[in-house]
Amino acid sequence: MSRVDEASRRKPGFTAGVAVVLADGQEWTFPPPRLRLSPVRSGGGFAVAVNRVGLPDYARWEAVLCSEAPAPPEEYWSVRMTAAATLLLANYELTDEELGSLLVWEAGEPASDERWDRIDAAILGVVPKPGPAT
């Protein structure tokens, strides 16, 4: 498969976010999941429900990625891949084959571990602070 041009695959409404160098060596941008707060009845009052816009399984993804919910390896990777693909497809028009060539993890490859740490941070809404201007 030939290299996919990142800029040409951007969707209208592309959202800046966390840039991650994916398996093809290019930076791709994961949009930050938008925070949504809403009231939920709790006893005689209300509590706050925390969700992410457009990510109906976000609570499960967060629990698995933060090790708050035990998950077998297959489910852990399914959650990671599903969440990463969902966010990437929010910004880009990609085929399943192209997506599969970008979101690769390989055991024993430090660059792969680093890539997925950044992807997980993007999924969780952790946006790195800009560095000082040089």
pLDDT tens-place values along the chain, 134 residues long? 678 999 999 999 999 999 999 999 999 999 988 777 889 999 999 998 877 776 778 888 888 888 888 888 898 898 889 999 999 999 999 999 999 999 999 999 999 999 999 998 888 887 666 555 55
- pTM (2 d.p.): 0.80
- Chain position carrying tokens 């967060």: 62
Res 124: pLDDT: 84
Residues in the chain: 134
Res 71: pLDDT: 86
Element (H, E) at 30: strand 27-30
Res 46: pLDDT: 92
Res 92: pLDDT: 98
Res 37: pLDDT: 84
Q: How many helices (H) and strands (E) does the chain have?
A: 4, 4
Element (H, E) at 38: strand 35-42
Interior angle at CA 66, CA 88 and CA 34, nearest 5: 45
Res 107: pLDDT: 92
Question: Distance between CA 48 and CA 67 in Å, rounded?
Answer: 22
Res 73: pLDDT: 87
Question: Distance between CA 51 and CA 78 in Å, rounded?
Answer: 20
Backbone angles phi, psi at 19, to 5 degrees: -85, 130
Res 134: pLDDT: 53
* DSSP helix/strand/coil, 47: strand
Res 3: pLDDT: 85
